[in-house]
Amino acid sequence: MSFEVQQDLHARRLAVRAEHARGYLDPFPGVRVVRKLDHAAAAANGGLVLFDAHRQLGDPAAPALFCRRLRGLTANAAVDGGLVEFELWEAHPTEPPPDVPSTSPTHVHVDIWNGAELRSFRFAGVTNAAKSVQQFGPFTIFATDYFAGDDHLGRAALWIEPGQPKRLTFTPDGLPPITVYYDVEEEWRADLVLVGGAQGQYQADFTWTRGDQTVLTGTIRNLLHVDSGSRSVAVELADAAPSRPGAPAGLDGQSYYYYALFLDAQPGPDGPQYAAPAAVASALATGEFGEAERLYRQLPAIHRSYDEPDPAVQGQGQLRRFLQVFGGALDQARGNADGLRHRNDLFQVDTAALPRLARWIGWDVDRTSAGEVQRNDVLFASEIFARVGTAGSLKALIPRALDWSFTVREFVANVFFTNARPTREWDVWTGSSPDGEVFGQASAVVNPNPARLAGRPALVIGDFGLMWMFWHQLAAGGRREIWVRWPLQGFAPQRVAVFDGISDPQIADECPAVLVDGANLRLFWSSNRGGSWDIWTRTLPKNYQGGQINPIGAAERLTDHAADDRNPAAVIEPGGRLWLFWQSNRRGPCDIWARTRVDGVWSEPRRITTAAVADQMPAAALDQNGAVHLFWSAATRDGCKLYESVLGVDLQGEDQWSAPAEVPGPPGLACRDEAPCAVLLQNRLRLYWHSNRRGSWQIWTSEFLGGAWTDPVQVEQHINGAPHPNKHMVAAKEPAAVPWNLGLFTAWRSQHRAEAFASRTFNTADPAAIAALGTLTDWNHYTYDTGRELADWYATDTVGVHFTVPQDDPLVADKLQRVRDFIEPYRPATVRIVWFAGMDPVT
């Protein structure tokens, strides 16, 4: 047996050859060639099937003289070669004449993938295939009715409409029709010639076409060697099948392709079944570099003018065609030289070679993991090594040995220092502002989570004048969640997603936006709960008066894209149309996108801005005339600037956004002006945002007056009736505001209370500090503990790992020992790890 893959002189094409000898009485072995981009396929269905003798020839031991196979594919980028929706295979007793599409087949196989279900139909003894073409409105229907004598077997109809997905409807006799939609149509044709006179010897030439492009050609020979009394089967393929349906013929240039040969098929319920591959091979598909054209351009102009004197013969000159021979060889040589750098490319090298690459950097590959996991492990191994001794490395390594939830604590944060750096906790603050430039009566909102990492407040007024405030914060388990409270009432704060059943700490809900929507409040937020960052929404009762919020509407996903959709903002026009804005990197750079909702129906997403680098953090508000103003922060070479666009209409009455106009920021050097918030105060638009113009983050404001924005001023925070003594030192960010009592009610996040968590002596008058003692979230400080017993934790070199232990697991001790043994090689000698089951240390 031999199996090899070689480069072709044609760029973006590879030649595949396989030969297998067998005894005279041995059955036909069955042959399948499977291709993959990242590694050789381990299973017969583990990649793009380039050739299968049973699929192409029916019974390869006694094939028909002409076989035709029609397939419909969905252009699914996640599936190499596309997702097959149907296959229609016909075996004919003779090859049709050139001017006839097909003769009547004798055997017909139909396979249709209806969702996850495979529907298969096999017809033998077919005597007639009646073809017809019908015009039905915009559709052209190409139909074939199959008969066995007078018995009708079924009808296959292809529906074609310009600009629409194609579809196949197959109607078995006496059964309901089955319809599938597809994007790309391709055809296999195999023409067989008997050779050697008898005894099953033949040669079949086949072609694989998509539209007018040939993507693969090949030959299979089944021969008898009289001298040795043996048989052999040989397959040759010229592979130019693109990985993406609809793409031009040709492999991806400068990419390694891996091929697997499968033999000795065994009968199975769904067709021939193959075991492990009999052989594997790989080769680099070189790209096109235009060397032939480069050589031609080096010729003197007079030679080129005589070679192609007329535009009608452009590209057909003898000198040009002569140089194309050498140009192809130069393309191949350059491609091979360029391909040397891909030999160690983690995402092109064969998975079997990953352990050898990993050993170069001292990493042990887990061969029980999937290939992509192994590649990522090696890719990030150096970063893991660089983070050895940090909490991040423990969080990355522990899940590989144990699937329990856990929390990592660095006890250095609890050690008392007289020269400790300021802490970085954030609280949400609220206040009122009669003029928009002073946030008076400021008070901290004590967050339910003592870690106090809170932000992005959003305000709205419900029924009975009830003020609602939403914000996101880190929960005790490490998950970012959205909370709600009523700052002017004594109601307890509540989690919004209390009924969603989410416990995975990697799932985050953040950046709430809220407005009044009829009889409800409508909350928008960004979340990765669906696998990628998208915009979600739900309703809450506007007439809430206390107790548990009820009902809370189900979470509804409004965007579904592989790119990140984040930071929603929303506004409702006087006519009732709702605008939803968000930032998304669907185009590459981050732009502002939008959807509208009219009468409960959402429009398709559309892009509003075209960013040079990034447009982000949108905000929207209505002016005194009811016009929608959109604000956002745009990244520029001079930092982040604020921009505005106003919604209008064009001459046809369609929506038209004005050209982006910069909102003048506060004076100073390049800085970051971010998180705009707009509100209508006394019939004038007022804009808030945060900026680091003066070093720390501070809130600034400007008013739209007399057709222009006023000079920005920094907002003052009045605490206990007086301006904050260090207003330029304590950071404040992410403002929110709503009209309230002839002025504004405001919210923002601040680090003013962070000083309470600094390294300091214990405050016995702080009930929160007392409650935190001995808990997982204890932020109090202790003198340095020099002991090394299980009860000695508070030291700069000590890290605690707290596991949530299942109650009925009989192997707790063994599993804890396994994770300790796994982590030990990555533990620096200067670090001590204390392992906890809950809050109890374990030996």
* Residue-level pLDDT at 193: 83
590 pLDDT above the threshold of 60: yes
> Which of residues 500 and 27 earns the better pLDDT score?
500
Average pLDDT (534-551) is 94
- pLDDT interval class at 478 (50, 70, 90): confident
Q: Is 366 a domain residue? A: no
Percent of the chain with pLDDT over 70: 93
Using DSSP, state whether 276 is helix, strand or coil.
coil
Do 465 and 516 have their domain in common?
A: yes
Highest averaged pLDDT of the listed ranges 16-20, 284-288, 836-840: 16-20
Q: Would 378 be classed as within a structural domain?
A: no
Q: Is 327 left (phi over 0), alpha (psi -120 to 50) or beta?
A: alpha
Q: What is the pLDDT of residue 762?
A: 78
Residue 352 within a domain:
no
Closest by CA to 511, choosing from 526, 493, 490, is: 526
Of the residues 713, 728, 757, the one at which a domain ends: 757
Q: How far apart are the first and last CA of the chain?
A: 59
| Final residue before a domain boundary, out of 757, 775, 804 | 757
Same domain as 267, residue 247: yes
Residue written as token pair 């192809």: 328
**770 inside domain:** yes
Give the mean pLDDT of 743-764: 78
Query: Is the model more confident about 147 or about 731?
Result: 147
Structure tokens at 512: 């709430």
Statement: residue 171 has pLDDT above 90: yes
| Same domain, residue pair 91 and 163 | yes
| Mean pLDDT along residues 269-298 | 87
What pLDDT sits at residue 728?
A: 46
Please give the average per-residue pLDDT across 807-834, as a whole number. Answer: 86
Per-residue confidence (pLDDT) for residue 447, from 0 to 100: 58
* Residue pair 660/633 in contact by the 8 Å Cβ criterion: no
Whether residues 462 and 525 share a domain: the answer is: yes
pLDDT of residue 477: 66
Residue 656 pLDDT greater than 60, yes or no: yes
Final residue in a domain of this structure, among 725, 757, 789: 757
| Res 765 pLDDT > 80 | no
Q: Tell me, what's the pLDDT at 103?
A: 66
pLDDT for 724 beyond 60: no
Mean of the per-residue pLDDT values for the chain?
86
- pTM for the full predicted model: 0.49
Residues 294-322: tens digit of each pLDDT? 999 999 989 988 888 888 888 888 998 89
List Cβ neighbours of 68 (8 Å cut-off, separation of 6 or more): 89, 90, 92, 102, 105, 187, 188, 189, 190
CATH number at residue 534: 2.120.10.30
CA 151 to chain centre: 51
Q: Are residues 560 and 646 in the same domain?
A: yes
Domain check: are 749 and 772 in the same one? no
CA distance 704 to 685: 5
Whether 451 shows a pLDDT value over 70: the answer reads no
- Alpha-carbon Rg for the chain, nearest whole angstrom, is 35
102 and 25: one domain?
Answer: yes
Question: For the chain, how many structural domains are there in total?
Answer: 4
Q: What is the pLDDT of residue 153?
A: 93
Are residues 681 and 824 located together in one domain of the fold?
no
Do 725 and 625 share a structural domain? yes
For residues 203-207, give the mean pLDDT: 90
**pLDDT bucket at 96, cuts 50 / 70 / 90:** low
Residues 503 and 547 both lie in one domain: yes
Backbone angles phi, psi at 714, to 5 degrees: -80, 135
Do 704 and 590 share a structural domain?
yes
Q: How far, in Å, CA of 766 to CA of 780, rounded?
A: 11
Whole domain around residue 401: which residue ranges?
387-418+762-841
Instruction: Give the pLDDT score at 463.
Output: 94
In a domain, 360, yes or no: no
pLDDT exceeds 90 at position 637: no
- Write out pLDDT tens, residues 689-723: 999 887 788 999 999 988 899 999 888 877 655 56
Residue 364 lies in a domain: no
Looking at residues 105-119, what average pLDDT do you find?
85
Q: What does the H/E/C string look like for 453-484?
A: EEEEEEEEECHHHCEEEEEEEECCCCCEEEEE
Question: Which range, of 135-144, 551-560, 767-776, averages the lowest pLDDT?
Answer: 767-776
Specify the DSSP class assigned to residue 664.
P
Residues 6+ apart with CB under 8 A from 301: none
The yes-or-no verdict on residue 726 having pLDDT over 70 is: no
pLDDT at 336: 87
**Beta carbons within 8 Å of 511's beta carbon, 6+ residues apart:** 456, 472, 525, 526, 566, 567, 568
CA 521 – CA 463 distance, rounded (Å):
10
Q: Are residues 823 and 691 in the same domain?
A: no
- pLDDT confidence tier of residue 351, bands split at 50, 70 and 90: confident
Instruction: Using alpha carbons, list the distances in angstroms from residue 135 to 81, 145, 307, 394.
Output: 32, 17, 49, 66
pLDDT attached to residue 423 = 63
Instruction: Band the pLDDT of 155: cuts 50, 70, 90.
Output: very high
Q: Is the pLDDT of residue 591 over 90?
A: yes
pLDDT at 841 over 90: no
Average of per-residue pLDDT across 217-227: 86
Kindly indicate the confidence band of residue 773, based on its pLDDT and cuts at 50, 70 and 90.
confident
State the Cα–Cα distance between residues 212 and 186, nearest whole angstrom: 10
Share of the chain above pLDDT 90, in %: 36
Is residue 769 classed as helix, strand or coil in its secondary structure?
Answer: helix
Helix (H) or strand (E) holding 817: helix 812-823
Residue 146 maps to a domain:
yes
Domain-located, residue 566: yes
Lowest-pLDDT choice from 137-151, 184-198, 428-442, 503-517: 184-198
Residues 764-782: what's their mean pLDDT?
80
